Chains A and B, each alone.
Chain A
Amino acid sequence: MSASASPSAETDALRVENLVAGFGDLTILHDVSLTVPIGKVTVLLGANGAGKTTLLRAITGLVTPRAGRVTLFGKEIAGQAPHLIARAGIGHVPSGRELFPRMPVSAHLDLGGRLCPPDQRAALRQRVLGLFPEIAERLGQAAGTLSGGEQQMVAIARALMTNPRLLLLDEPSAGLAPKVVLSVFQTLAKLQDQGMSVLLAEQSMTFGLSVANRAHIIREGRIVLSGTPAELTAERSVAQAYLGA
């Protein structure tokens, strides 16, 4: 065991620096910078239309960044094709879940599992199904016929099956009953215990801060406030104002 980490040792799973992105002539993200520490849950809080989805999509290459750097465990990925970024180790649970509606749950796991080394696939599948006993009972059912909560679990399970080093979750609570949201967030806590690095986009400050180690507030495409949950709670009124509440 070495006494001190070497100076080059990575402490961040993801580093976004001065990212600019948009659609056509429209610039949505202005000079966004944030980091996601290894093994921690970082939350990105923002109101409707603040730019959370656009930021996650710019990180995964679904939106091409116009400027700035995105580094995954020390490797520059900005500008790469999205399927290559997925292969580089980012699991993306996109907004709206984006499941394959007429394919069974098991096919979602198989498709995610393409990115996991073959010899580890079976073990990973066991672990993922252990996190989501509800969908383990519905492996043969078409994804389009599942409830909203089950669909969200399939989306997370599919992303986990890619054996990611970093997990991006885009509003997994959207459209779910409070009880179901709770169970999704409990799963996130379990993932963090297992050492997963997570960037979670979320509208609700209460939900977001309940799981995160660090939070960033985005407003009109700019990071306007960053801090620990305690710091944000202390400045609750400021934070709420940024979130448009």
Chain B
Amino acid sequence: MIVLQLVVNGVLLGGTYILLAQGLNLVFGVMGIVNLAHGSIITVAGLFTYWFVTHTDQSPLWLIPCVFVAMLAVGAVLQRLLLEPLAKLGTRRELLSLMVTFGLSYVIVETALNFFGSQYVSLPNLQETWSVGGLAINEALVAAGVLGALISGCLHVWLHYTPSGKALLATSQNATGAVTCGIDVRRMRGISFAIGSALAGIAGVLLILILPLSAPTADTLTILSFVIVALGGLGDYKGAVYAGLLLGLVQSGVGYYLGGDVEVVVPYLLLITFMVLRPQGLGQAAR
């Protein structure tokens, strides 16, 4: 029974992890850069959710559409002002974009520290535990896991079944090929960063339901997201789904049997193991 319980918890955690990674993945795929500010967007969205809920007494889930739309706009503006000017710089672009997103992360974290302080906060909402067939199912874990998976599913449908999504997917797999099809790659870069930021925002709203967050958590979340993206195979959206689930399951099991101290290093151990054994990522394995 305990194994089943751990699997259920692991899958739910994995659902949230998938969403955590997809924003970073999208930006990497289309723009070819690792957005070091990814975790800071997640964190600020989480802290804002905490602030909003404690001040208004509304359900945090109302924030999902609002945060999505707001971060879409913020992401589009940030990309246009900070990253697009680097696009012409050829190979120097990669290093400069790391510096720019690192700087951006720093600014966001410092601002968050000013507004929200440095203490860890967690939401008291959705703390019911349902008993289903002998399993203890935590309401917050279900909300975060199911919504995370559902929103990642929407991303999948958009990428594979709509003209604009297919154009973005094509750009992420081969920008030159996309241009020959008349796709405006510059516009795709803007869209990918806008959607990447919006997904990071939603991930923050969901994450504060299940984990305590504080401003300095930002870097840990960037690294965690990067680990999932790298495990799945950089820029591979299906691969990230497998990687998120795998990480959730392994963490849930390791956390129970070996304790929290080992649980936190699981992502890095998995990453190192995979870089040695399967550097192309999980995605290719399943196909």
Contact = CB atoms under 8 A, between A and B. Distances in A.
Size bracket of the B interface:
20 to 34
Interface string A89-100: 001111001111
Interface in B149-198: 163, 166-167, 169-170, 173-174, 176-186
Nearest to A111: B181
Interface of B: 163, 166-167, 169-170, 173-174, 176-186, 236, 287
Please indicate which of the listed interface residues A91, A92, A102 has the most CB atoms of chain B within 10 Å of its own CB.
A102
Contacts, number: 70
B164 to A, nearest CB: 10
Interface in A51-70: 60, 62
A22 to B, nearest CB: 13
Contacts of A107: 166, 170
Interface of A: 60, 62, 81-84, 86-87, 91-94, 97-103, 107, 110-112, 114-115, 142, 158-159, 162
A114 to B, nearest CB: 6
Contacts of B287: 142
7 shortest interchain CB distances as A-B pairs: A98-B177, A100-B173, A86-B182, A111-B181, A98-B176, A92-B180, A87-B182
Contact of A100 (B177, B179, B182, B186): B177
22 contacts: A60-B179, A82-B179, A83-B185, A86-B180, A86-B182, A87-B182, A92-B180, A94-B176, A94-B177, A98-B176, A98-B180, A100-B169, A100-B170, A101-B173, A101-B174, A102-B173, A102-B236, A107-B166, A111-B181, A114-B163, A114-B182, A158-B177
B176 A103 contact: no
Contact of B180 (A81, A103, A158): A158
A91 B173 CA distance: 19
Contacts of B180: 60, 86, 91-94, 98, 112, 158-159, 162
Contacts of B178: 100, 111
A103 B169 contact: yes
